[in-house]
Amino acid sequence: MSRPVLTTERMRLEPLTAAHTDLLVELDADPEVLRLVHGRALARDEVVGTFMPRRTRPDADARGLGFWVGWSRTDPTRWLGWWCLIPDGTDRGSAELGYRLRRTAWGHGLATEGGRALLAHAFGTAGLDRVWAETMTVNTGSRGVLRKLGLTERRIRVDEEKRAIPGWEHGVVTLDLDAPRPGPRRT
């Protein structure tokens, strides 16, 4: 199985490929977008050399998981950001949900809309048992999106490697959601 194109009311999510590199370089060069992710903008060589290989892993794609780029359906040239389901290295039935949007796409419900499409794919097509996510405790916007998607906060841990991020001392919150279980059949 490979990653399918996913559509929502306002977006078209297509599998991320190396052809999208310049879009991701532009996104990761915005210090405000990465303020609560890395604490700083990333240089082109960091994005190309470190993050693009992770975002285009063939083993993830073989399971229907990986990264998608989102485009506006009303303006197909308007790139919105990316969403992902990253395979969990220790649990084959689990994946990490993530997203990163351009600032022009913030505040319009697009992170939630794309997240819903990925959850439907994760639990339906890909047959996962669980989806989880992590964000900085101080990232109230991302925490709100994840809660709207139905994920539940499970734990908070302080990560010394996040010292460059404002509010790092409040920790990283892990949230998760189990696949819906079919209810009893009515006869």
List domains and CATH numbers for the chain: 6-178 (3.40.630.30)
Number of neighbours of residue 33 by Cβ within 10 angstroms? 20
According to the model, what pLDDT value does residue 156 have?
Answer: 93
In 3D, which of 19, 71, 70 has the Cα closest to residue 48?
A: 19
Q: Tell me: the pLDDT tens digits for 114-151?
A: 999 999 999 999 999 999 999 999 999 999 999 999 99
> pLDDT tens digit string along 69-114?
999 999 999 999 999 999 888 888 999 999 999 999 999 999 999 9
Q: Tell me which amino acid residue 45 is.
A: D
- Predicted pLDDT at 106: 96
pLDDT value of position 186? 55
What is the model's pLDDT at position 104?
96
Q: For the full predicted model, state whether its pTM sits above 0.85.
A: yes
Q: Is the pLDDT of residue 187 over 60?
A: no
CB 126 within 8 A of CB 64: yes
pLDDT in tens, 13-67: 999 998 999 999 999 999 999 999 999 999 999 988 888 777 877 766 778 999 9
Report the C-alpha gap between 19 and 100 in whole angstroms.
18
Measure CA 64 to chain center: 15
Torsion region of 135: left, alpha or beta (phi above 0 gives left; psi -120 to 50 gives alpha): beta
The pair of three-digit structure tokens given for residue 35, joined into one six-digit string = 């303020």
Burial class (CB in 10 A: 0-12, 13-18, 19+), 84: buried
How high is the pLDDT of residue 58?
72
Could you tell me if 85 and 117 are in contact, meaning their C-beta atoms sit under 8 angstroms apart? no
Does pLDDT of 1 surpass 80? Answer: no
Residue with tokens 């490929």: 17
Tally of CB atoms within 10 A around 35? 17
Pick 31 or 161 by higher pLDDT.
Answer: 31
pLDDT for res 137: 94
Share of the chain above pLDDT 70, in %: 96
